[in-house]
Amino acid sequence: MPRLLPYLLLLPATAFLCLFFLYPFVQVAHDSVMRNGVYTLENFSRMAGHWKFSTAFWNTMILAAVVVPIQLAMALTMASIVTKLQRGRSTILYIFAIPLGISDLAAGLIWLSVFEQSGFLNSLLVGLGIVDRPILLLGYQNTWIIFIAIVLAEVWRATAIMMVILVAGMGLIPKEYGEAADVFGASRWQKFRRVTLPMLKPSLQTALILRVILAFEVFAVVVALGGTQLPVLMSETYHWQFAMQERGVAAAFAMVILGVSVAFTILILRLLHVPKGARV
Amino acid sequence: MAVIEIKQVAKTFGSFTALHSVDLTIADQEFMVLLGASGCGKTTLLRIIAGLETPTTGEVWIGGRRVDHLPPRERGIAMVFQNYAVFPHLTVFENIAFGLRMKKMDQAEVTRRVNRTAELMHIEQLLKRYSGELSGGQRQRVAVARALAMEPDVILMDEPLSNLDALLRLEMRAELKGVLAESKTTTIYVTHDQVEAMSLADRISVMNGGRIVQAANPVEVYRNPAARFVGSFIGNPPMNFLKAEPAGAGKWQVAGQVFDGPAAAAAEFAIRPEDLHPAEAGLPAEVRVVEPLGPHTLITASVAGQPFRAVLESNLLPAPGDMLRLAPVPDRIRWFDPATQSAL
Ligand SMILES: Nc1ncnc2c1ncn2[C@@H]1O[C@H](COP(=O)(O)OP(=O)(O)OP(=O)(O)O)[C@@H](O)[C@H]1O
Ligand SMILES: [Mg+2]
């Protein structure tokens, strides 16, 4: 009985997960290989055959590849600074965490108000006399500006979540290791590189996995700032499901996002693996 | 050349004073042992010398250079931490090599030094392991090896052998002493173990309540304690103390016996337990507990109602309740001022 107890206690949560997560998941997986009542891979071939697919796929990838490293670098820097603070640490954490409380659509709209034709940036440029009249920044001629705006909005919105995780992780590293590094001649950078970073691996794993998965699911910010100018996997899923009424193809997109997420999760777990015995 | 000078160093944590104006000079290549009860400020002093703690007031000089504003890595020291601080994410080899890697030493020299110090500390078979796979005593030896591998001018060791079994400790102690003497290192060594302190030290600094009470060579500290605390802390069993009544002209009456003593208003009589022998005339002692220890017999007795210990020859086996007369060796009697607690 005592050995069964933990499983018994996990039962309600497991049942909940099965009902509301596993079931819809199986449903989607099923939909992606079902067309007109027969099992087929046609949904996938339709998806891959569409001219927007590879654009959407690569846009998503490139966006993640740009956003996540910037966020990682910023979160590490900010976390190091916050950890060193003697006082006012929690206040600063709260301030940094404010964007976390804003939904991604709202974040997209905030940045839209900066970049749109009647927006803040244009007023500023006109006011300073750099341009004569407001310019269309987020037009189809300059998708790179849309891209930059999305990167900015994403960095602004979701860096704090990584930082909070990393601050917690740094707090878990006993002070004595930093002191030993100091005594044995490590410079600040060496201490960070040779002691803090390796001991932060478990938190880095969590933060990166969370961020990378969210980056592959980027949607509202992209739609708010770019409309259909910059297709990503998630916006295509939405498009196929609701505009095209092609449930199967939308499900195929969802499976692709899932596949990519799982692959990167495994990759991150591998890369940041801490050998047994080397744990803190 | 690495003389360490500590000038009027004080340290307060909030309202608590951990160190009261400590003055201490450690000569080049000297082996200085810090000895004192738990919480008396040994680690705090060591951490101030290392630069891990800033003194509230005072100065620290190493090798003729004022260092108390310098970060630890610019002080030319290595340290064995009381809690080891062996890096969990590195193997034993990389732990020992850590300081050498920071100096960007070439691989051949790193390997040579790691192997040499690992062998010295008997951990050469553990080089590939992580710290999580070591016992406490093994981890402690990694910490010592890491410091030795640096071949620094100054080495600070905070109870480096505390976690080893008696036999291994004896062996390590001898090896440490040899290696440090050979490499001409100035050493500050914290220990709780008096025997270790006596056997290793050129000089012992006895600390009490954030002060250095006496800094002298081991025999001096043992024979001529500068304060009552030193006598009561050093020696196993420690010194005996008895009340003394002035009997005029530098004579003092102790438990009915009269001894020559200092010319002072008040004094306390002190004698080491091994400086007593049974005699016709002497301090009257009522035996309470008899402990035959092999080489000698330890007697716990009561002299004029005060606790009193004596170490006697092992063929003497009195019974509890017996009355003994214990005569002190005259030139081993010490006197302390009851008010200031210092030696007279
Ligand atoms: N960071 C700190 N904050 C407050 N008090 C401290 C701090 N560090 C040490 N102390 C206090 O200072 C005193 C001296 O501590 P220290 O660690 O130097 O003792 P120690 O002689 O090394 O003892 P032990 O033999 O037990 O290691 C202790 O009373 C301790 O409680
Ligand atoms: Mg200590």
pLDDT in tens, B195-253: 899 999 999 999 999 999 999 999 999 999 999 999 999 998 899 999 998 888 788 98
Helix (H) or strand (E) holding B221: helix B218-223
Of the ligands numbered here, which is closest to the C-alpha atom of B17? 1
A to B CB pairs, distance under 8 Å:
73
Which residues have CB under 8 Å from A16's CB, separation 6+? none
- Paired sense of beta strands B276-292 and B296-303, if any: antiparallel
Q: Please state at what angle helix B107-120 crosses helix B92-102, rounded to 10 degrees.
A: 130
Q: Is the peptide bond before B237 cis (omega within 30 degrees of 0)?
A: yes
Looking at residue A1, its pLDDT comes to 63
pLDDT tens for each residue of A106-161:
888 888 888 888 888 888 888 888 888 888 878 777 888 889 999 999 998 888 88
Which residues lie at CB < 5 A from ion ligand 2?
B 43, 82
Of the ligands numbered here, which is closest to the C-alpha atom of B38? 1
Evaluate whether ipTM surpasses 0.90.
no
Apex CA A91: angle with CA A86 and CA A92, to 5°? 80
pLDDT tens for each residue of B92-107:
999 999 999 999 999 9
Computed from CA positions of residues B290, B296, B302, B307, in that sequence, does the dihedral angle turn out positive or negative? negative
Q: Counting atoms of ligand 1 from 1, which one is nearest the CA of B46?
A: 18
Domain containing residue A58: 40-271
**Average pLDDT score over residue span B19-28:** 94
With cut-offs at 50, 70 and 90, classify the pLDDT of residue B288. very high
**Model confidence at B109: pLDDT above 90:** yes
SS3 category, A245: coil
Choice among A267-271, B162-166, B239-243, B299-303 with the minimum mean pLDDT: B162-166
Delineate the domains of chain B, giving CATH numbers in brackets.
Answer: 4-232 (3.40.50.300), 237-336 (2.40.50.140)
CA of B42 to the centre of ligand 1 (A): 8
Provide the token pair at B84: 């080891």
User: Chain B within 8 Å of A183 (Cβ-Cβ)?
Assistant: yes
pTM exceeds 0.80, yes or no? yes
A20 within domain boundaries: no
- Show the beta-strand stretches assigned E in chain A: 34-35, 38-39
Looking at residue B1, its pLDDT comes to 65
Tell me whether residues A185 and B129 touch, CB distance under 8 A.
no
Q: Counting atoms of ligand 1 from 1, which one is nearest the CA of B47?
A: 18
Q: Are A261 and A213 in contact (CB under 8 A)?
A: yes
Provide the token pair at B75: 């002080």
**A274 contacts in chain B (CB < 8 Å):** 89
User: Which single residue is written with the structure tokens 């050093």?
Assistant: B234
For residue A98, the domain's CATH number is 1.10.3720.10
**Average pLDDT score over residue span B299-319:** 89
CA of B38 to the centre of ligand 1 (A): 8
**B51 contacts in chain A (CB < 8 Å):** 182-183
With cut-offs at 50, 70 and 90, classify the pLDDT of residue B51. very high
A4 within domain boundaries: no
Which of B11, B13, B56, B208 to mutate to test ligand 1, by most ligand atoms within 8 A of the CB atom?
B13
- Which region, left, alpha or beta, applies to residue B329 given φ > 0 means left and ψ of -120 to 50 means alpha? beta
A123-132 contact pairs (CB < 8 A, 24+):
none
Q: Which of A236, A201, A197 is nearest to A216 (CA)?
A: A236
Provide the token pair at A204: 């880095």
Q: How many residues does chain B have?
A: 344
**Model confidence at B192: pLDDT above 90:** no
SS3 category, B199: helix
**B151 contacts in chain A (CB < 8 Å):** none
User: Chain B within 8 Å of A193 (Cβ-Cβ)?
Assistant: no
Tell me whether residues B73 and A183 touch, CB distance under 8 A.
yes
Distance CA A56, CA A110 (A): 24
Order of strands, sheet of B240-243, starting from the edge strand that comes earlier in the sequence: B240-243, B268-271, B334-336
Mean pLDDT, all residues of chain A = 89
Mean pLDDT, all residues of chain B = 91
Number of domains observed in the structure of chain A: 1
**Average pLDDT score over residue span B10-39:** 93
Q: Is B315 in the pocket of ligand 1 (CB under 6 A)?
A: no
Distance CA B154, CA A210 (A): 47
* Phi, then psi, of A3 in degrees rounded to 5: -75, -25
Tell me whether residues A179 and B72 touch, CB distance under 8 A.
yes
A267 within domain boundaries: yes
**B87 contacts in chain A (CB < 8 Å):** 177, 180, 195
If you write DSSP's letter for every residue of B60-125 in order, what string do you get? Answer: EEETTEE-TTS-GGGS-EEEEBTTB---TTSBHHHHHHHHHHHTT--HHHHHHHHHHHHHHTT-GG
Distance CA A241, CA A198 (A): 44
Computed from CA positions of residues A123, A124, A127, A128, in that sequence, does the dihedral angle turn out positive or negative? negative
Tell me whether residues A182 and B72 touch, CB distance under 8 A.
yes
**Model confidence at A56: pLDDT above 80:** yes
- Which region, left, alpha or beta, applies to residue A183 given φ > 0 means left and ψ of -120 to 50 means alpha? alpha
User: Which single residue is written with the structure tokens 């910059």?
Assistant: A230
